[in-house]
A = this chain, B = another copy of it.
Amino acid sequence: MEYSIASDLPTPALVVDVDAFNKNCAAMDAIRPDAQLRPHVKAFKSTSVARRLADQGHRGFCAATPAEIEGMAKAGLGHDLLLANESLDLARLGKLDANVTVAVDSDAILDAAVAGGVRSVLIDIDVGLPRCGCDKVQGARLAERARKAGLEVRGVMGYEGHLMMTVDRAERIDKVGQAMEILAAAHAEIGGDIVSAGGTGTFDTNTWCTELQAGSYCLMDTHYSELDLPFEQALAVVATIVSVSPKGWIIGNAGLKAFGMDHGSPTWDGPGKVLFCSDEHVTLRPDNLSDFAVGDRVVLHPGHVDPTVAKHENMWLINGDLANEGTLVDQWPVDLRHW
């Protein structure tokens, strides 16, 4: 690493608070130790993070793209990789030196798995999110076809993504239960050892799955922070103030190319508020303009971790103050980007 303290880092810099990261991992591990968690690499897109989680006992991973699976295999983390998504691009995965399972919800995807040399599948069940997944009748038929073709059917998966942001805990428990009853009914017909489901938002309320698919919990974002979760915001983008206007605003050099914007603008520790983002700028209105000068650094928290991380080449792990005097302890390449 070329840098030793946070203020050495060129900005915009994607930074991780080591203390918050470690606390988040511990909070998850208390509820979902070892194989009860299958971390989702789409949230952090880094084999460096994955390796830390594997060292903590989570040796199986899930991913959203073939490129993420390839990257994990290449990094020697191919013990048990699940493409928790439908893809036709499966010949890339069948040839890897890794144990790869893929999600299947149609004959076309199953055909691609067979043709691509993939050796095991999970049947993806629609549990209420308008996305991938089939019903249990189709699922049982696909499982039978897969077994006849010589593939292992390891079980079922179903993502209750539509319930991740249910704020009221009792309502969340109730609705997750209803969604998981659909998955359990499918599992009863399909068989296999695995019921893979859930995410950060339902990490302790989805008590039905044998393994939880969660990734955001370790870095966290402002969106998930609206819930009653025991996870802190460990991820931030540090920007340098490049302009101060006497009209009352200051400009940071991190804009909408540095943040996932689908959950809106980032939040600022302040004191003050975020006005808007341009491509390479964030316009902030501080409570006291005289507190800021060109060259100062500000810490901004992204609304959505996953697409934010995907925009950067590296994460920088920092002990202490993220923008200035904190100690740089590691560099995590974001090496699972693209498709």
Whether B294 and A109, one on each chain, are in contact in the complex, defined by CB atoms closer than 8 angstroms, is: yes
User: Which residues from B are CB-within-8-Å of A279?
Assistant: 42, 64, 306-307
A313 vs B261: C-alpha distance in the bound complex, in angstroms?
Answer: 20
Whether A260 and B253, one on each chain, are in contact in the complex, defined by CB atoms closer than 8 angstroms, is: no
Copy number of this protein in the oligomer?
A: 2
Q: Mark A291-304, 1 if CB is under 8 A from B, else 0.
A: 00111000000001
Count residues on chain A whose CB falls below 8 Å from chain B CBs: 56
User: Which residues from B are CB-within-8-Å of A58?
Assistant: none
A130 CB within 8 Å of chain B: yes
A245 vs B161: C-alpha distance in the bound complex, in angstroms?
Answer: 16
Whether B130 and A245, one on each chain, are in contact in the complex, defined by CB atoms closer than 8 angstroms, is: yes
Whether B339 and A240, one on each chain, are in contact in the complex, defined by CB atoms closer than 8 angstroms, is: no
User: Which residues from B are CB-within-8-Å of A306?
Assistant: 257, 279
User: Which residues from B are CB-within-8-Å of A312?
Assistant: 338
A106 vs B105: C-alpha distance in the bound complex, in angstroms?
Answer: 59
Whether A133 and B64, one on each chain, are in contact in the complex, defined by CB atoms closer than 8 angstroms, is: no
Whether B294 and A251, one on each chain, are in contact in the complex, defined by CB atoms closer than 8 angstroms, is: no
Whether A131 and B251, one on each chain, are in contact in the complex, defined by CB atoms closer than 8 angstroms, is: yes
User: Which residues from B are CB-within-8-Å of A278?
Assistant: 131, 161
User: Which residues from B are CB-within-8-Å of A105?
Assistant: 243
Q: Mark A181-205, 1 if CB is under 8 A from B, else 0.
A: 0000000000000000000000000
A275 CB within 8 Å of chain B: yes
- Min CB–CB distance A187 → chain B (angstroms): 20
What are 26 A-to-B residue pairs whose CB atoms are below 8 Å?
A11-B339, A12-B339, A65-B280, A85-B242, A85-B281, A86-B242, A87-B242, A88-B240, A88-B242, A88-B294, A88-B295, A106-B243, A106-B244, A109-B242, A126-B245, A126-B247, A130-B276, A131-B249, A132-B251, A132-B281, A133-B243, A133-B245, A262-B277, A279-B306, A310-B311, A311-B311
